[in-house]
Amino acid sequence: MEEWYKLDHAGKLFPAVANKENSSAYRLSMMLTKPVNPEALQQALDKVISRFPLLNVELRNGLFWKFLRERDERLLVQPETVYPCAPVHLADRHSSLVRVLYYGNKISVEIFHALTDGGGALEFLKTLVFQYLRQLGEKVDDKEGRILPPASFATYAEAQDSFKTHFKPASAKRKAPEALQIQGTRFVPHGHHVIHGFVSASRLNAAAKGVGVTITAYLTAILIMAVHRSTLSLNTENRPIVIAMPVNLRKQFPSSSLRNFFAVIPIGVAMNDHLTFEQIAETVQRQLTEKTAKPYLSEVIAGSLKYENRLFSRLAPLKLKDLAIRYGFDHYGEEAKTLTLTNLGKVDVPSAMASHIEAMETTMYPTAKSPINCAVSSINDRLTVTFARNIVESDVIMHFFRQLVRLSGLDVAVAGNDWGMGA
């Protein structure tokens, strides 16, 4: 493998927009059934990191683009001490873009989004936990071929920028209208308050099927209702509620890349008090079906790549590009969405490994204009809905879980980190 990498298309965005209020670092965690042994975790990391060379890198400036360079320093596991998805220190030459954390029974990886998306990060976490269990002497194997073997080699294809592979010129989407924005009081000191809701995945699936939609559409519809209810008096301009949803492009476009390869689709509803839950769910499902189809996603890729491919853009100095990216992110990305909901889906791990895992959680960092974000993932029939917020107000989250209980009738358990609550 080479010792440096160009940033992939999506990865070029995050270094330009990352700051204290937008850490661009997301978290994936696995809650194990036994307390984590830090020494064994470090040994596992030492073995696994060479399988994922793209994650042991540092960010450097070029004249036209930033790039990633392999780090000389050893990546160390750390005890979890600060709030989830805290900013990475881009200016610090010795700081890593990946954190491997442990607390109690939980192993977490926090990854700066310029390196990879949730799909790549999940592969890393699965392999890390697999190797960790082996270090402990547990008899785990992967007969089903559900993880990347720690002793295998990173392939050329895994480092490819699949956006470029699958780019086809097409008409770009027009600028989306401004969406309703959630306002709130920022935590002082700044931090992320996280709340997890745990529910049976199969029962939730049955409840969703009861109204003829998928779990993603079901949860999105509830979220839209919760936002509407929480912002009734504030949405005087009757702006649509738009949920930005990252879509894993590997499902539609063949790719074995472990780098970023996702598109963000907007699922929007102009709410009024007469819309029923079933109507909202149907609208969401229709949009999801249309916008996760290949033709739509091809247009999204084309629209996203058209600026980057222009010679003028490529030859513009890095600082000028950063300014343009920040402007585009603020005015075309952040203002066009209310919040983000990302569904990592059902996490498949080898059956011998599954019995060691109690739960899986994904945490999506909030940003200045999207102060609440939601992430969903499931393992062993336990689905976790995680909200991360940087504002004191929890109305949206409260209404979401109340509606979820009321509509599905399921048993929901909640836990959180109580950041900013003085507890």
Q: Which is nearer to another protein, 303 or 416 (CB)?
A: 416
Closest C-alpha to 301, from 340, 261, 333, 331? 261
The answer to whether 257 and 161 have CB atoms below 8 angstroms apart is yes
- Contact call for residue 413 and another protein (CB under 8 A): yes
Pair of tokens at residue 81: 């001490």
Instruction: Out of 104, 149, 169, 295, name the contact with another protein by CB under 8 A.
Output: 104
Closest C-alpha to 257, from 3, 30, 6? 6
Q: Which is nearer to another protein, 130 or 419 (CB)?
A: 419
Instruction: Out of 144, 290, 348, 418, name the contact with another protein by CB under 8 A.
Output: 418
Q: Which is nearer to another protein, 82 or 232 (CB)?
A: 82
Q: Which is nearer to another protein, 146 or 203 (CB)?
A: 203
Binding mask 127-166 for another protein (x = CB under 8 A): ----------------------------------------
Closest C-alpha to 40, from 80, 122, 100, 120? 100
* Cα(10)–Cα(8) distance, integer angstroms: 6
Binding mask 82-101 for another protein (x = CB under 8 A): xxx-----------------
Q: Where are the alpha helices (DSSP H) in 212-338?
A: 215-230, 277-291, 294-309, 311-315, 318-328
391, exposed or middle or buried, with CB in 10 Å at 0-12, 13-18, 19+? middle
Q: Which is nearer to another protein, 108 or 283 (CB)?
A: 108
Q: Which is nearer to another protein, 167 or 253 (CB)?
A: 167
What residues between 163 and 202 interact with another protein by CB under 8 A? 188-191, 194-197
DSSP character at residue 97 = S
Q: Which is nearer to another protein, 103 or 277 (CB)?
A: 103
- Stretch of 112-120, 156-164, 285-293, 403-411 contacting another protein, by CB under 8 A: 403-411
277-291 and 294-309 are packed helices; what angle lies between their axes, rounded to 10 degrees?
60
Pair of tokens at residue 39: 């020494």
- Contact call for residue 365 and another protein (CB under 8 A): no
CB of 315 to another protein, least distance (A): 6
What residues between 289 and 318 interact with another protein by CB under 8 A? 314-315
Instruction: Out of 60, 209, 319, 331, name the contact with another protein by CB under 8 A.
Output: 60
Pair of tokens at residue 123: 């592969």
- Contact call for residue 414 and another protein (CB under 8 A): yes
How many residues bind another protein, per CB under 8 A? 50
Closest C-alpha to 199, from 2, 14, 1, 377? 377
Radius of gyration, alpha carbons of the chain:
21
Q: Which amino acid belongs to residue 192?
A: H
Q: State the virtual CA torsion across 301, 305, 307, 313 in degrees, nearest 10.
A: 170
- Stretch of 1-9, 216-224, 282-290, 325-333 contacting another protein, by CB under 8 A: 1-9
Which residues of 249-287 form beta strands (DSSP E)? 262-269
Q: Around Cβ 43, how many Cβ atoms within 10 Å?
A: 17
The answer to whether 77 and 110 have CB atoms below 8 angstroms apart is no
Q: Which residue has the tokens 């160390």?
A: 76
Instruction: Out of 64, 138, 164, 368, name the contact with another protein by CB under 8 A.
Output: 64
CB of 229 to another protein, least distance (A): 14
What residues between 4 and 23 interact with another protein by CB under 8 A? 4, 6
What kind and span of H or E run contains 103?
strand 98-103
- Contact call for residue 419 and another protein (CB under 8 A): yes
- Contact call for residue 406 and another protein (CB under 8 A): yes
Binding mask 325-354 for another protein (x = CB under 8 A): ------------------------------
Where along the sequence are the contacts to another protein (CB under 8 A)? 3-4, 6, 31, 60-65, 67, 69, 79-84, 103-106, 188-191, 194-197, 314-315, 394, 397-398, 401-402, 405-406, 411-419, 421, 423
